[in-house]
Structure 1
Amino acid sequence: MLGPVRAWRADVELRLGPPQQQAFAALLLASAGRPVTVAEVVDMLWGQDPPSSAVNVVRRYVGALRRVLEPGLPRMATGRWLLREGGGYRLNVGVTTLDLLRFRDLRTQARAADRADGSAYALELYAQALALWCGHAAAGIPAQARSHPVFAGLDGERLATVKEAADAALRCGRAEPVLAQLQGLADDHPLDEPLHSRLIRALTLTGQQAQALETYQKIRVLLPRSWTSSPPPSCWPLTAKC
Protein backbone atom coordinates (compact mmCIF):
# COMPACT_ATOMS: atom_id res chain seq x y z
CA MET A 1 0.00 0.00 0.00
CA LEU A 2 2.86 2.37 0.79
CA GLY A 3 3.88 2.46 -2.84
CA PRO A 4 2.50 0.31 -5.67
CA VAL A 5 -0.50 -1.77 -4.61
CA ARG A 6 0.72 -5.34 -4.10
CA ALA A 7 -0.40 -8.33 -2.07
CA TRP A 8 1.05 -11.71 -1.18
CA ARG A 9 -0.15 -15.04 0.10
CA ALA A 10 2.85 -16.50 1.93
CA ASP A 11 5.68 -15.83 -0.57
CA VAL A 12 3.48 -15.74 -3.66
CA GLU A 13 2.49 -12.36 -5.09
CA LEU A 14 -1.18 -12.16 -6.02
CA ARG A 15 -2.63 -10.81 -9.24
CA LEU A 16 -5.11 -8.16 -8.15
CA GLY A 17 -6.83 -7.93 -11.52
CA PRO A 18 -7.53 -5.08 -13.94
CA PRO A 19 -6.70 -1.46 -13.04
CA GLN A 20 -10.10 -0.53 -11.59
CA GLN A 21 -10.16 -3.66 -9.47
CA GLN A 22 -6.68 -2.80 -8.22
CA ALA A 23 -7.94 0.69 -7.36
CA PHE A 24 -10.81 -0.83 -5.38
CA ALA A 25 -8.31 -3.00 -3.52
CA ALA A 26 -6.21 0.10 -2.85
CA LEU A 27 -9.19 1.93 -1.33
CA LEU A 28 -9.94 -1.04 0.92
CA LEU A 29 -6.31 -1.20 2.02
CA ALA A 30 -6.08 2.56 2.57
CA SER A 31 -9.18 2.37 4.74
CA ALA A 32 -7.24 -0.03 7.01
CA GLY A 33 -10.18 -2.08 8.24
CA ARG A 34 -12.78 0.67 8.03
CA PRO A 35 -15.89 -0.20 5.99
CA VAL A 36 -16.02 1.44 2.57
CA THR A 37 -19.46 2.12 1.13
CA VAL A 38 -20.41 1.16 -2.40
CA ALA A 39 -21.14 4.83 -3.09
CA GLU A 40 -17.58 5.74 -2.09
CA VAL A 41 -16.16 3.08 -4.39
CA VAL A 42 -18.32 4.26 -7.29
CA ASP A 43 -17.25 7.87 -6.71
CA MET A 44 -13.58 6.91 -6.61
CA LEU A 45 -13.74 4.84 -9.80
CA TRP A 46 -16.00 7.01 -11.98
CA GLY A 47 -16.41 10.39 -10.32
CA GLN A 48 -19.47 12.34 -11.47
CA ASP A 49 -20.20 10.11 -14.47
CA PRO A 50 -20.65 6.51 -13.31
CA PRO A 51 -22.16 3.98 -15.72
CA SER A 52 -25.58 2.51 -14.97
CA SER A 53 -23.83 -0.79 -14.23
CA ALA A 54 -21.46 0.72 -11.63
CA VAL A 55 -22.90 -1.04 -8.58
CA ASN A 56 -22.90 -4.40 -10.35
CA VAL A 57 -19.31 -3.85 -11.46
CA VAL A 58 -18.30 -3.17 -7.85
CA ARG A 59 -20.00 -6.37 -6.76
CA ARG A 60 -18.11 -8.29 -9.43
CA TYR A 61 -14.87 -6.80 -8.16
CA VAL A 62 -15.79 -7.91 -4.63
CA GLY A 63 -16.29 -11.49 -5.77
CA ALA A 64 -13.13 -11.47 -7.86
CA LEU A 65 -10.98 -10.09 -5.03
CA ARG A 66 -12.38 -12.63 -2.60
CA ARG A 67 -11.33 -15.44 -4.91
CA VAL A 68 -7.90 -13.84 -5.39
CA LEU A 69 -7.44 -13.75 -1.63
CA GLU A 70 -8.91 -17.22 -1.09
CA PRO A 71 -8.59 -19.47 -4.14
CA GLY A 72 -11.25 -22.14 -4.24
CA LEU A 73 -13.77 -20.03 -2.36
CA PRO A 74 -17.31 -20.89 -3.55
CA ARG A 75 -18.76 -18.26 -5.85
CA MET A 76 -21.27 -16.74 -3.40
CA ALA A 77 -19.23 -17.27 -0.23
CA THR A 78 -17.90 -14.31 1.77
CA GLY A 79 -14.65 -15.78 3.03
CA ARG A 80 -12.59 -14.39 5.88
CA TRP A 81 -10.75 -11.42 4.35
CA LEU A 82 -13.16 -9.22 2.39
CA LEU A 83 -16.23 -8.78 4.55
CA ARG A 84 -19.60 -7.14 4.10
CA GLU A 85 -20.21 -4.65 6.90
CA GLY A 86 -22.26 -1.53 7.59
CA GLY A 87 -23.60 -1.15 4.08
CA GLY A 88 -20.13 -1.50 2.60
CA TYR A 89 -17.05 -3.69 2.53
CA ARG A 90 -13.92 -3.90 4.63
CA LEU A 91 -10.72 -5.88 4.58
CA ASN A 92 -9.90 -7.93 7.65
CA VAL A 93 -6.34 -6.64 8.15
CA GLY A 94 -4.01 -5.94 11.05
CA VAL A 95 -0.52 -4.73 11.91
CA THR A 96 1.03 -8.00 10.76
CA THR A 97 -0.79 -8.08 7.41
CA LEU A 98 -0.89 -4.45 6.20
CA ASP A 99 2.12 -2.19 5.80
CA LEU A 100 0.03 0.92 6.46
CA LEU A 101 -0.99 -0.30 9.91
CA ARG A 102 2.59 -1.38 10.64
CA PHE A 103 3.79 2.10 9.64
CA ARG A 104 1.27 3.78 11.92
CA ASP A 105 2.15 1.49 14.80
CA LEU A 106 5.87 2.24 14.44
CA ARG A 107 5.16 5.96 14.24
CA THR A 108 3.14 5.78 17.45
CA GLN A 109 5.97 3.88 19.14
CA ALA A 110 8.50 6.43 17.89
CA ARG A 111 6.52 9.33 19.30
CA ALA A 112 6.23 7.61 22.66
CA ALA A 113 9.94 6.80 22.68
CA ASP A 114 10.82 10.39 21.84
CA ARG A 115 8.84 11.58 24.84
CA ALA A 116 10.08 8.93 27.25
CA ASP A 117 13.55 7.77 26.23
CA GLY A 118 14.96 10.49 24.04
CA SER A 119 15.49 10.83 20.33
CA ALA A 120 18.00 8.06 19.63
CA TYR A 121 15.60 5.12 20.01
CA ALA A 122 12.80 7.16 18.46
CA LEU A 123 14.97 7.70 15.40
CA GLU A 124 15.42 3.95 14.98
CA LEU A 125 11.66 3.44 15.08
CA TYR A 126 11.04 6.29 12.66
CA ALA A 127 13.60 4.80 10.28
CA GLN A 128 11.81 1.43 10.40
CA ALA A 129 8.48 3.12 9.71
CA LEU A 130 9.74 5.13 6.76
CA ALA A 131 11.56 2.14 5.28
CA LEU A 132 8.14 0.64 4.56
CA TRP A 133 7.50 3.31 1.94
CA CYS A 134 8.56 2.88 -1.68
CA GLY A 135 6.88 5.79 -3.44
CA HIS A 136 3.52 7.48 -3.26
CA ALA A 137 0.66 5.58 -1.66
CA ALA A 138 -1.26 3.46 -4.19
CA ALA A 139 1.17 4.38 -6.95
CA GLY A 140 0.18 3.02 -10.33
CA ILE A 141 -3.60 2.91 -10.00
CA PRO A 142 -5.68 4.94 -12.50
CA ALA A 143 -5.42 8.71 -12.07
CA GLN A 144 -9.16 9.11 -11.45
CA ALA A 145 -8.94 6.74 -8.50
CA ARG A 146 -5.57 8.04 -7.28
CA SER A 147 -7.09 11.52 -6.87
CA HIS A 148 -9.29 10.24 -4.01
CA PRO A 149 -8.50 12.22 -0.83
CA VAL A 150 -7.65 9.09 1.15
CA PHE A 151 -4.47 8.57 -0.86
CA ALA A 152 -3.36 12.19 -0.51
CA GLY A 153 -3.99 11.76 3.19
CA LEU A 154 -1.61 8.83 3.36
CA ASP A 155 1.09 10.79 1.55
CA GLY A 156 0.48 13.54 4.10
CA GLU A 157 1.08 11.07 6.92
CA ARG A 158 4.40 10.17 5.37
CA LEU A 159 5.40 13.83 5.03
CA ALA A 160 4.52 14.56 8.66
CA THR A 161 6.44 11.50 9.81
CA VAL A 162 9.54 12.51 7.86
CA LYS A 163 9.45 15.89 9.60
CA GLU A 164 9.11 14.22 13.01
CA ALA A 165 11.96 11.85 12.18
CA ALA A 166 14.12 14.74 11.01
CA ASP A 167 13.54 16.58 14.27
CA ALA A 168 14.61 13.50 16.23
CA ALA A 169 17.63 13.02 13.98
CA LEU A 170 18.76 16.63 14.29
CA ARG A 171 18.45 16.51 18.07
CA CYS A 172 20.74 13.47 18.01
CA GLY A 173 23.19 14.97 15.57
CA ARG A 174 22.54 12.00 13.22
CA ALA A 175 20.97 13.26 10.02
CA GLU A 176 22.00 10.37 7.76
CA PRO A 177 19.02 8.10 8.56
CA VAL A 178 16.54 10.69 7.28
CA LEU A 179 18.50 12.56 4.63
CA ALA A 180 17.31 10.54 1.63
CA GLN A 181 13.69 10.83 2.74
CA LEU A 182 14.04 14.59 3.17
CA GLN A 183 15.63 15.00 -0.24
CA GLY A 184 12.98 12.92 -1.98
CA LEU A 185 10.05 14.74 -0.42
CA ALA A 186 11.63 18.16 -0.90
CA ASP A 187 11.44 17.58 -4.65
CA ASP A 188 7.72 16.77 -4.32
CA HIS A 189 7.00 19.74 -2.04
CA PRO A 190 9.06 22.69 -3.32
CA LEU A 191 7.02 25.23 -1.32
CA ASP A 192 7.10 23.44 2.03
CA GLU A 193 9.32 25.78 4.02
CA PRO A 194 9.46 23.64 7.22
CA LEU A 195 10.52 20.62 5.17
CA HIS A 196 13.26 22.53 3.38
CA SER A 197 14.45 24.01 6.67
CA ARG A 198 14.99 20.50 8.00
CA LEU A 199 16.73 19.44 4.80
CA ILE A 200 19.13 22.39 4.95
CA ARG A 201 20.00 21.59 8.56
CA ALA A 202 20.46 17.90 7.75
CA LEU A 203 22.76 18.67 4.82
CA THR A 204 24.80 21.02 6.98
CA LEU A 205 25.04 18.46 9.75
CA THR A 206 26.37 15.84 7.33
CA GLY A 207 29.04 18.19 6.02
CA GLN A 208 27.30 19.00 2.74
CA GLN A 209 27.42 22.75 3.11
CA ALA A 210 27.46 23.42 -0.63
CA GLN A 211 24.27 21.45 -1.16
CA ALA A 212 22.72 23.09 1.88
CA LEU A 213 23.44 26.53 0.42
CA GLU A 214 22.12 25.48 -2.99
CA THR A 215 18.91 24.22 -1.39
CA TYR A 216 18.54 27.44 0.56
CA GLN A 217 19.03 29.55 -2.56
CA LYS A 218 16.39 27.57 -4.46
CA ILE A 219 13.78 27.88 -1.74
CA ARG A 220 14.63 31.54 -1.23
CA VAL A 221 13.70 32.21 -4.87
CA LEU A 222 10.39 30.39 -4.43
CA LEU A 223 9.59 32.00 -1.08
CA PRO A 224 11.19 35.46 -1.26
CA ARG A 225 8.81 37.01 1.25
CA SER A 226 9.50 34.38 3.87
CA TRP A 227 13.28 34.11 3.58
CA THR A 228 15.13 37.36 3.07
CA SER A 229 18.87 37.91 3.19
CA SER A 230 19.89 34.94 5.33
CA PRO A 231 18.52 31.58 6.44
CA PRO A 232 16.08 31.73 9.35
CA PRO A 233 17.18 30.32 12.71
CA SER A 234 15.34 27.08 11.93
CA CYS A 235 17.95 26.39 9.24
CA TRP A 236 20.95 26.70 11.52
CA PRO A 237 22.61 23.35 12.26
CA LEU A 238 22.11 21.89 15.70
CA THR A 239 25.12 20.85 17.72
CA ALA A 240 23.26 19.02 20.47
CA LYS A 241 23.98 15.30 20.66
CA CYS A 242 22.03 12.47 22.21
Structure 2
Amino acid sequence: MTAERIAKAPKLKLAITTGIGSDHVDLDATISHGITVVEETYSNSISVAEHAVMQVLALVRNYLPSHEGVVTGGWNIADSVERAYDIEGMNVGVIAAGRIGRAVLRRLAPFDVHLHYTDKNRLSPEIERELALTVHPDAASLVRAVDVVPIHAPLHPQTHHLFDDALISSMKRGSYIVNTARAEITDRDAIVRALESAQIAGYAGDVWYPQPPAADHPWRTMSHNGMTRHVFGSTLSAQTARAPM
Protein backbone atom coordinates (compact mmCIF):
# COMPACT_ATOMS: atom_id res chain seq x y z
CA MET A 1 0.00 0.00 0.00
CA THR A 2 2.21 2.78 -1.31
CA ALA A 3 1.39 6.48 -1.25
CA GLU A 4 0.91 6.37 -5.03
CA ARG A 5 -1.55 3.49 -4.83
CA ILE A 6 -3.46 5.15 -2.00
CA ALA A 7 -3.72 8.40 -3.99
CA LYS A 8 -5.43 6.46 -6.79
CA ALA A 9 -8.13 5.11 -4.44
CA PRO A 10 -10.20 8.12 -3.35
CA LYS A 11 -13.02 5.93 -2.03
CA LEU A 12 -10.76 3.81 0.17
CA LYS A 13 -11.63 4.14 3.86
CA LEU A 14 -10.34 0.91 5.44
CA ALA A 15 -7.20 -1.20 4.94
CA ILE A 16 -7.11 -4.57 6.72
CA THR A 17 -3.86 -6.50 7.00
CA THR A 18 -4.31 -10.22 7.59
CA GLY A 19 -1.60 -10.73 10.13
CA ILE A 20 0.64 -8.67 12.37
CA GLY A 21 2.63 -5.62 11.30
CA SER A 22 1.66 -2.67 9.12
CA ASP A 23 5.05 -1.65 7.78
CA HIS A 24 3.92 -2.62 4.26
CA VAL A 25 1.38 0.22 4.43
CA ASP A 26 2.41 3.88 4.02
CA LEU A 27 0.88 5.02 7.29
CA ASP A 28 1.59 8.71 6.67
CA ALA A 29 -0.37 8.47 3.43
CA THR A 30 -3.29 6.69 5.10
CA ILE A 31 -3.41 9.34 7.82
CA SER A 32 -3.46 12.19 5.31
CA HIS A 33 -6.26 10.48 3.36
CA GLY A 34 -8.32 9.60 6.44
CA ILE A 35 -7.94 5.86 5.95
CA THR A 36 -8.17 3.49 8.90
CA VAL A 37 -5.57 0.69 9.05
CA VAL A 38 -6.30 -2.38 11.18
CA GLU A 39 -4.53 -5.64 11.91
CA GLU A 40 -6.03 -8.99 12.85
CA THR A 41 -4.82 -8.90 16.44
CA TYR A 42 -3.88 -12.31 17.86
CA SER A 43 -4.71 -14.09 14.59
CA ASN A 44 -1.27 -15.68 14.37
CA SER A 45 0.54 -14.57 17.53
CA ILE A 46 0.84 -18.09 18.93
CA SER A 47 2.10 -19.46 15.62
CA VAL A 48 4.88 -16.86 15.61
CA ALA A 49 5.75 -17.46 19.26
CA GLU A 50 6.00 -21.22 18.78
CA HIS A 51 8.18 -20.76 15.70
CA ALA A 52 10.52 -18.48 17.66
CA VAL A 53 10.86 -20.97 20.52
CA MET A 54 11.51 -23.76 18.03
CA GLN A 55 14.30 -21.76 16.40
CA VAL A 56 15.85 -20.84 19.76
CA LEU A 57 16.08 -24.52 20.66
CA ALA A 58 17.30 -25.49 17.17
CA LEU A 59 20.20 -23.05 17.41
CA VAL A 60 21.23 -23.77 20.99
CA ARG A 61 21.00 -27.55 20.57
CA ASN A 62 22.73 -27.39 17.14
CA TYR A 63 19.81 -29.33 15.70
CA LEU A 64 20.18 -28.44 12.03
CA PRO A 65 23.67 -29.93 11.47
CA SER A 66 22.60 -33.02 13.42
CA HIS A 67 19.64 -33.52 11.10
CA GLU A 68 21.72 -32.80 8.01
CA GLY A 69 24.11 -35.55 9.07
CA VAL A 70 21.24 -38.03 9.01
CA VAL A 71 20.10 -36.90 5.56
CA THR A 72 23.60 -37.10 4.09
CA GLY A 73 24.33 -40.49 5.64
CA GLY A 74 27.02 -39.44 8.10
CA TRP A 75 27.46 -40.51 11.72
CA ASN A 76 30.11 -38.20 13.17
CA ILE A 77 28.57 -37.46 16.54
CA ALA A 78 31.33 -35.04 17.49
CA ASP A 79 30.37 -32.75 14.62
CA SER A 80 26.86 -32.47 16.07
CA VAL A 81 27.64 -32.02 19.75
CA GLU A 82 30.63 -29.68 19.51
CA ARG A 83 28.25 -26.68 19.37
CA ALA A 84 25.27 -28.13 21.28
CA TYR A 85 24.21 -26.84 24.71
CA ASP A 86 21.35 -27.16 27.15
CA ILE A 87 19.25 -24.02 27.26
CA GLU A 88 18.60 -24.58 30.98
CA GLY A 89 20.28 -21.87 33.02
CA MET A 90 20.84 -19.54 30.08
CA ASN A 91 19.72 -15.92 30.04
CA VAL A 92 17.12 -15.19 27.37
CA GLY A 93 16.10 -11.61 26.62
CA VAL A 94 13.11 -10.62 24.51
CA ILE A 95 13.12 -7.39 22.50
CA ALA A 96 9.52 -6.15 22.87
CA ALA A 97 7.10 -7.99 25.14
CA GLY A 98 3.81 -7.50 23.36
CA ARG A 99 1.46 -10.33 22.44
CA ILE A 100 4.16 -12.43 20.79
CA GLY A 101 6.99 -11.52 23.13
CA ARG A 102 4.93 -12.42 26.21
CA ALA A 103 3.91 -15.72 24.62
CA VAL A 104 7.58 -16.53 23.99
CA LEU A 105 8.49 -15.70 27.59
CA ARG A 106 5.73 -17.95 28.93
CA ARG A 107 6.77 -20.85 26.70
CA LEU A 108 10.42 -20.57 27.64
CA ALA A 109 9.84 -20.30 31.39
CA PRO A 110 9.46 -24.10 31.91
CA PHE A 111 12.97 -24.59 30.53
CA ASP A 112 14.36 -23.02 33.72
CA VAL A 113 16.01 -20.13 31.93
CA HIS A 114 16.54 -16.64 33.32
CA LEU A 115 14.13 -14.36 31.48
CA HIS A 116 14.73 -10.72 30.55
CA TYR A 117 12.82 -8.21 28.46
CA THR A 118 12.74 -4.63 27.27
CA ASP A 119 9.69 -2.78 26.03
CA LYS A 120 8.52 0.82 25.80
CA ASN A 121 5.57 -0.23 27.99
CA ARG A 122 6.55 -2.07 31.15
CA LEU A 123 4.62 -5.24 31.95
CA SER A 124 2.50 -5.47 35.07
CA PRO A 125 4.19 -6.30 38.38
CA GLU A 126 2.13 -9.50 38.49
CA ILE A 127 3.56 -10.78 35.20
CA GLU A 128 7.09 -9.76 36.16
CA ARG A 129 6.80 -11.71 39.43
CA GLU A 130 5.11 -14.71 37.82
CA LEU A 131 7.87 -15.16 35.24
CA ALA A 132 10.71 -13.79 37.41
CA LEU A 133 11.49 -11.24 34.72
CA THR A 134 14.41 -8.84 34.69
CA VAL A 135 13.45 -5.62 32.93
CA HIS A 136 15.94 -3.52 30.98
CA PRO A 137 15.58 0.13 29.94
CA ASP A 138 16.65 -0.53 26.35
CA ALA A 139 18.06 -3.08 23.93
CA ALA A 140 21.64 -1.98 24.59
CA SER A 141 21.31 -2.94 28.25
CA LEU A 142 19.52 -6.21 27.53
CA VAL A 143 21.88 -7.66 24.91
CA ARG A 144 24.88 -7.29 27.22
CA ALA A 145 23.22 -9.48 29.83
CA VAL A 146 21.77 -12.40 27.87
CA ASP A 147 22.80 -15.42 25.81
CA VAL A 148 19.80 -15.56 23.47
CA VAL A 149 17.87 -12.64 21.97
CA PRO A 150 14.45 -13.24 20.35
CA ILE A 151 13.32 -10.09 18.50
CA HIS A 152 9.60 -9.24 18.44
CA ALA A 153 9.56 -5.48 17.90
CA PRO A 154 7.73 -3.71 15.07
CA LEU A 155 9.78 -2.07 12.34
CA HIS A 156 9.85 1.72 12.62
CA PRO A 157 12.58 4.38 12.43
CA GLN A 158 13.78 3.65 15.98
CA THR A 159 14.22 -0.08 15.32
CA HIS A 160 15.50 0.10 11.74
CA HIS A 161 18.98 -1.52 11.75
CA LEU A 162 18.91 -1.58 15.55
CA PHE A 163 21.15 -4.64 15.46
CA ASP A 164 24.13 -3.10 13.72
CA ASP A 165 27.85 -3.76 14.16
CA ALA A 166 28.01 -1.61 17.28
CA LEU A 167 25.14 -3.27 19.13
CA ILE A 168 26.11 -6.79 18.10
CA SER A 169 29.70 -6.22 19.23
CA SER A 170 28.39 -5.37 22.71
CA MET A 171 26.65 -8.75 23.04
CA LYS A 172 28.20 -11.70 24.84
CA ARG A 173 30.50 -13.50 22.45
CA GLY A 174 28.76 -16.65 21.24
CA SER A 175 25.21 -15.33 21.71
CA TYR A 176 22.26 -16.24 19.51
CA ILE A 177 19.72 -14.04 17.71
CA VAL A 178 16.26 -15.18 16.57
CA ASN A 179 14.34 -12.63 14.53
CA THR A 180 10.72 -13.38 13.64
CA ALA A 181 9.77 -9.70 13.53
CA ARG A 182 11.16 -7.81 10.53
CA ALA A 183 14.48 -8.38 8.75
CA GLU A 184 15.44 -4.70 8.65
CA ILE A 185 15.58 -4.52 12.43
CA THR A 186 18.98 -6.08 11.80
CA ASP A 187 21.72 -4.91 9.47
CA ARG A 188 22.00 -7.71 6.91
CA ASP A 189 25.76 -7.57 6.45
CA ALA A 190 26.45 -6.97 10.14
CA ILE A 191 24.78 -10.32 10.87
CA VAL A 192 26.98 -12.04 8.27
CA ARG A 193 30.12 -10.46 9.72
CA ALA A 194 29.15 -11.42 13.28
CA LEU A 195 28.71 -15.06 12.29
CA GLU A 196 31.98 -15.11 10.39
CA SER A 197 33.86 -13.71 13.40
CA ALA A 198 31.94 -15.96 15.86
CA GLN A 199 30.71 -12.90 17.74
CA ILE A 200 27.32 -14.60 17.52
CA ALA A 201 27.00 -18.40 17.44
CA GLY A 202 23.84 -18.54 15.37
CA TYR A 203 21.11 -16.54 13.67
CA ALA A 204 17.61 -17.74 12.83
CA GLY A 205 14.34 -16.25 11.72
CA ASP A 206 12.07 -16.26 8.73
CA VAL A 207 11.85 -12.61 7.77
CA TRP A 208 13.95 -11.30 4.89
CA TYR A 209 14.59 -8.07 3.03
CA PRO A 210 13.63 -7.98 0.30
CA GLN A 211 11.07 -10.75 0.09
CA PRO A 212 11.53 -13.06 -1.64
CA PRO A 213 15.30 -12.76 -1.29
CA ALA A 214 17.60 -13.04 -4.26
CA ALA A 215 19.24 -16.38 -4.94
CA ASP A 216 22.57 -14.94 -3.80
CA HIS A 217 21.24 -13.35 -0.60
CA PRO A 218 24.02 -13.99 1.96
CA TRP A 219 21.62 -15.22 4.62
CA ARG A 220 20.88 -18.28 2.49
CA THR A 221 24.41 -19.60 2.84
CA MET A 222 25.95 -17.89 5.89
CA SER A 223 27.30 -20.22 8.55
CA HIS A 224 25.22 -21.38 11.52
CA ASN A 225 21.92 -20.01 10.26
CA GLY A 226 18.49 -21.47 10.85
CA MET A 227 16.55 -19.36 8.37
CA THR A 228 13.17 -20.42 7.01
CA ARG A 229 10.86 -18.86 4.45
CA HIS A 230 8.35 -16.31 5.77
CA VAL A 231 5.92 -18.93 7.01
CA PHE A 232 5.89 -18.53 10.79
CA GLY A 233 2.44 -16.97 10.93
CA SER A 234 0.83 -19.14 8.27
CA THR A 235 0.18 -22.45 9.99
CA LEU A 236 -3.16 -24.04 9.21
CA SER A 237 -4.22 -23.07 12.73
CA ALA A 238 -3.41 -19.41 12.09
CA GLN A 239 -5.14 -19.45 8.70
CA THR A 240 -8.25 -20.86 10.34
CA ALA A 241 -8.17 -18.02 12.88
CA ARG A 242 -8.06 -15.49 10.02
CA ALA A 243 -10.75 -17.22 7.98
CA PRO A 244 -13.77 -15.31 9.43
CA MET A 245 -12.33 -12.14 7.91
TM bracket, shorter-chain basis: under 0.3
Which structure carries more strand by proportion? 2
Q: TM-score, normalised by structure 2?
A: 0.26
Which structure carries more helix by proportion? 1
**Considering only CA atoms, is the larger Rg found in Structure 1 or Structure 2?**
1
